Amino acid sequence: MEDLSQNELHEFWSIMDLSRLPYIGPVTCYHLARNIGLSSCVKPDLHLKRLVNSLFGNDDEKFVQQIIQKLADQLQKTPGEVDFSLWVWLSHEGCQKEGCCGILRLR
From first to last of the 107 residues of the chain, give the pLDDT tens digit. Answer: 455 555 554 566 788 889 888 999 888 888 888 888 887 888 888 889 999 999 999 999 999 999 999 999 999 999 989 988 898 888 777 666 665 555 555 44
Write down the pLDDT at residue 105.
52
Write down the pLDDT at residue 43.
86
Instruction: Give how far Cα 93 sits from Cα of 29, 39, 79, Å.
Output: 25, 27, 21
Helices (H) and strands (E) in the chain, counts: 5, 0
Write down the pLDDT at residue 100.
57
Write down the pLDDT at residue 107.
46
